[in-house]
Amino acid sequence: MTRFFTRKRLMVLLASFILLAVLVGLTLREREKASWPEAILIDAFGWVQGVVMAPVQHVAGFFDEVQHIKELYSENARLKANLNDFSAMRVQIQELERQNQQLKNDLGLVNLTTDLKLLATNVVGRSPSTWNSTITIDVGSKAGVTKDMAVITANKGLVGRVYEVTPYHSKVLLISDMEKMFVSAKVQTKDQKDEPYGFVRGAVDNVPQSQKSRLEMTNIPLVAKIKEQNAVITSGLSDIFPPGLLIGEITKVEQDNLGLTQTAQIEPYANLDHLEVVYVVTNSRAAAKE
């Protein structure tokens, strides 16, 4: 029977572990640009993934439609009933928007959330690993994408940030990542003077791809009065994310282990498990810094 750990094998294992530590050490810090061999590989695989992804999404869309066909009838009836309310609401919103703009002009404020310049992009791949939360999108530096730009869905739900850019593709780190994603966020409460701040990242017990992605908000002051169903949005204190992007809704609030702050479990607005088209915010603060 073969011996597992001969002296030679142990030496090779030790040497490879040292090599691994060196390689990780060189690449662990966030780099401004991917090296050219990496860029070539990401672009080449990105194109192939794009070709594979298009028909797959059509087939998946078909299954999705079949699955939801029953719900469509009831949804259609409900939407028709809401249509009358919608017309009245639209007039009301237009009036409120006009008033809001007028008041902002009077106060000299600049509207930060509605002036987002968006670049629509397709998701062509997703990390198959349990331990990474990245997606690949089909726009890169040639389309004006730079590192750390915010990525959102059509309804302004925050998806993540651009982590690595190659000429034709970009790697996006999802907000459910635990290692390199801390989003400065605040909880929207009825009392505007008491909107507590905190950090959002992937939940501790949230192993990607094994369940629905969940987030957690930490470092919320103990005195803050937050409750379930409160909305969490980006705070505007971050260098990366514009203010007012929707992150999610609080599903549970509890004290941290030491009892000094509160931690909130959040269900993200963006469906992080099903991303087809996402938008890169090209005028985010990261772009403004450059």
Partner 1 sequence: MRPVWILLTMMGMLIIQSTVLQVQPFTFIAPNIPFVMLLFVALKRGPLYALYIGLCIGLLQDVLYGTYLGMHAFTYATIGYFAGTTFRSYWTRQFMVVVLIILGYTFLSELTAYGLSRLFGQGHYDLTSAMLQGVRMMIWNGIFALLLYSPSVRLLDDERRSGRTEESI
Interacting residue ranges for partner 1, rule: CB under 8 A: 1-2, 4, 8-9, 12-13, 16-17, 20, 23-24, 26-28, 37-38, 41-42, 45, 48-49, 52-53, 56-57, 60, 63-64, 67, 124-132, 134, 136, 163, 171, 173, 177-180, 202, 204-207, 209-210, 273-274
User: From CA 42, how far away is CA 165, in angstroms rounded?
Assistant: 9
Closest CB 159 distance from partner 1, rounded Å: 14
Tell me how far apart the alpha carbons of residues 270 and 26 are, in angstroms, rounded to a whole number. Answer: 33
Residue 108 Cβ vs partner 1, minimum distance, rounded to whole Å: 40
How many other C-beta atoms lie within 10 A of the C-beta of residue 249? Answer: 17
Shortest separation between residue 212's beta carbon and partner 1, angstroms: 10
Closer residue to partner 1 in complex, CB, 150/187 = 150
Residue with Cβ nearer partner 1 (134 or 189): 134
Could you tell me the smallest distance in angstroms from the CB atom of residue 177 to partner 1?
8
CB 281 within 8 A of CB 118: yes
Q: Rank residues 162 and 233 by Cβ distance to partner 1 and give the closer one.
A: 162
Smallest separation, CB 56 to partner 1 (Å):
5
The answer to whether 183 and 158 have CB atoms below 8 angstroms apart is yes
The least CB distance from residue 211 to partner 1, in Å, is 9
Nearer to partner 1, 105 or 211 (CB): 211
Is the Cβ of residue 13 or residue 260 nearer to partner 1 in the bound state?
Answer: 13
Phi then psi for residue 157, to 5 deg, are -80, 130
What is the token pair recorded at 93?
């919103």
| CB distance 170 to 139 below 8 Å | yes
Question: Does residue 240 contact residue 284 with C-beta atoms inside 8 Å?
Answer: yes
Q: Minimal CA–CA distance to 160: which of 144, 182, 142, 145? A: 182
